[in-house]
Amino acid sequence: MGGTAAPALELSKRPIDLLIGTFFLIHLPIMLLIDLQVLVPRHFFPTFAQELLNWHIENSGDFLMANPPLYFKSFVYAEYAIQLPLHVANAYAFLRGKRWGRMTGIIYGVHVATTMIPILADILASDSPKRNNLLGVYVPYLLIPLLVVARLLPFSDPFAPKSGTASDKPKTT
């Protein structure tokens, strides 16, 4: 996207980017096979996906997935309209070191972290005996997007080798 970008540093020298890129890839089947069951009748999904969701609900006490409130359904709609394309783009950007991934990553991170606030508040306010299990499932979906933002925000070209030029240094504004 405009201008000449410096070549990306090897992925082996960017372990955080490898971790984040892998997260985006691993989360795609979860979105498509588990989360989508909130919006699409469950009988459209393979039996193993239905059983996996049942296991998750039973073991974590996930009342949001078992009986999704309207606000939660709206977040799942946003997951498909906004997050799904960003997952694909960000997986590619982080694993291939694409400069444009800075913008898509920041959009993803801020969006998801914001949606997690009411979800975590609902969990914290619940009297579920499995509340801590459920927090263990959902808290990473706050922490990983915040990690993405923290990784990308300080740099204009976060994947470029650090050569000491002004564009490689953290932004100070």
**Please, which residues have CB within 8 angstroms of residue 18's CB and are 6 or more apart in sequence?**
11, 12, 94, 95
**Terminal CA-to-CA distance of the chain, rounded, Å?**
23
> Is residue 130 over pLDDT 90?
yes
Q: With pLDDT > 90 as the criterion, what percentage of the chain qualifies?
A: 85
Query: What count of other Cβ atoms lies within 10 Å of the Cβ of residue 150?
Result: 11
Token pair of 40, please? 């699409």
Task: Read off the pLDDT of residues 77-99 as tens digits, 9 standing for 90 and up.
Answer: 999 999 999 999 999 999 999 99
Q: Could you tell me the pLDDT band of residue 169, with boundaries at 50, 70 and 90?
A: low
pTM of the model: 0.88
DSSP labels for 86-123?
HHHHHHHHHHHT-TTHHHHHHHHHHHHHHHHHHHHHHH
Contact in structure between 126 and 119 (CB atoms under 8 Å): no
Task: Give the amino acid at 48.
Answer: F
Helices (H), the chain: 15-33, 47-60, 63-66, 70-78, 84-96, 101-125, 131-138, 140-152
